[in-house]
Amino acid sequence: MFDGKLTQKQRRFAEAIFKGESATDAYVLAGYKATKRTIAGVEGCKLLKNPSISAYLSYLKGQVEEKIVIDEARLIRELQSIAFARIDHLLDLDTGEMLPKDELLKSNALACVSDFSVDEIESGEGIKRKRKLKMFSKVQAIETLLKISGYSQELALGLRICESYGIKLRQNERSEWEVIK
């Protein structure tokens, strides 16, 4: 049990930091007021140096060893990024080139990528780069979302939802779900 003294806002700030929020976002989520994001960032960094908040963060980290804490909303966002990802969110379909890094980072499109590698091939024309991109299974992400959402017991409804996003599914001979192309 944590014995330190924290205000409600300090506790909310530390918990947001613990869940992976930036100091700026944690400051605002905790209920502190700031006229600008830069001010929220500076004040959030100051709070991180508070000994009581540091002690509480250490306490929370210790709790993880006993119990894994998952932010359900973040999990669902990640699964949605995988389930509803489209290749044109990653690549320029005309050239086959990856979209600019800034664009990929802003859109959270990279959440659906499970592996990426670049092979350099020497040829008479110089070095060419061959990029390999592998995406997480959309079907598994959709199945998980359906289970989380409670639709696994109402399969027809789940399949209609998938179809509304342009995704048609079928079960193969091993009872695994596949996307119909």
* Residue range 157-178, pLDDT digits in tens: 777 777 888 888 887 887 777 8
Q: Are 53 and 13 in contact (CB under 8 A)?
A: yes
Rounded to 10 deg, the angle between the 155-164 and 138-149 helix axes is 130
Model pLDDT, residue 39: 92
Tally Cβ neighbours within 10 Å of residue 130: 9
Q: Hey, is 69 helix, strand or coil? A: coil
Whole-number percent of the chain with pLDDT over 90: 25
**Rounded to two decimals, what is the model's pTM?**
0.42
Note the pLDDT tens digit of each residue in 37-79.
Answer: 999 999 999 999 999 999 999 888 887 665 554 567 778 888 8
| pLDDT reported for residue 169 | 83
Instruction: Round to whole Å and give the CA distance between 138 and 64.
Output: 29
* Mean pLDDT along residues 6-13: 93
Calculate ∠ Cα 61-8-77, nearest 5°: 60
Q: Comparing C-alpha atoms, which of 154, 158, 110, 153 is closest to residue 134?
A: 110
Question: Does the pLDDT of residue 12 top 80, yes or no?
Answer: yes
